[in-house]
Amino acid sequence: MKKIIITIDGYSSCGKSTLAKQLAKKLDYIYIDSGAMYRAVTLYFIRHDINWKDEAEVKKALADVHLEFVYNPATAQADMHLNDENVEHLIREMLVAEKVSEVAAIGAVRHFAVSQQQKMGNRKGIVMDGRDIGTVVFPQAELKIFMTADPAVRVERRFKELYEKNQNITIHEVKENLELRDYIDANREISPLRRADDAIILDNSQLTMDEQLGLVLQWVEDAIMEHSS
Kindly report, residue by residue over 165-182, the tens digit of the pLDDT: 888 899 999 999 999 988
pLDDT higher than 90, residue 224: yes
55 has pLDDT over 90: yes
In percent, the amount of the chain with pLDDT more than 70 equals 100
Domains delineated in the chain: 5-214 (3.40.50.300)
Instruction: State yes or no: pLDDT of 1 exceeds 80.
Output: no
The structure's pTM equals 0.78
Confidence at residue 151, expressed as pLDDT on a 0 to 100 scale = 93
Instruction: Please give the Cα distance from 195 to 18 (Å, whole number).
Output: 19
The Cα–Cα gap between 3 and 116 comes to 20
With CA atoms as reference, report the closest residue to 10 among 193, 205, 211, 224.
193
How confident is residue 189, by pLDDT bands cut at 50, 70 and 90? confident
pLDDT in tens, 64-120: 999 988 888 888 788 999 999 999 999 999 899 999 989 998 999 999 999 888 888
Q: For 45-60, what is the mean pLDDT?
A: 97
In angstroms, rounded to a whole number, what is the distance separating the alpha carbons of residues 17 and 197?
Answer: 22
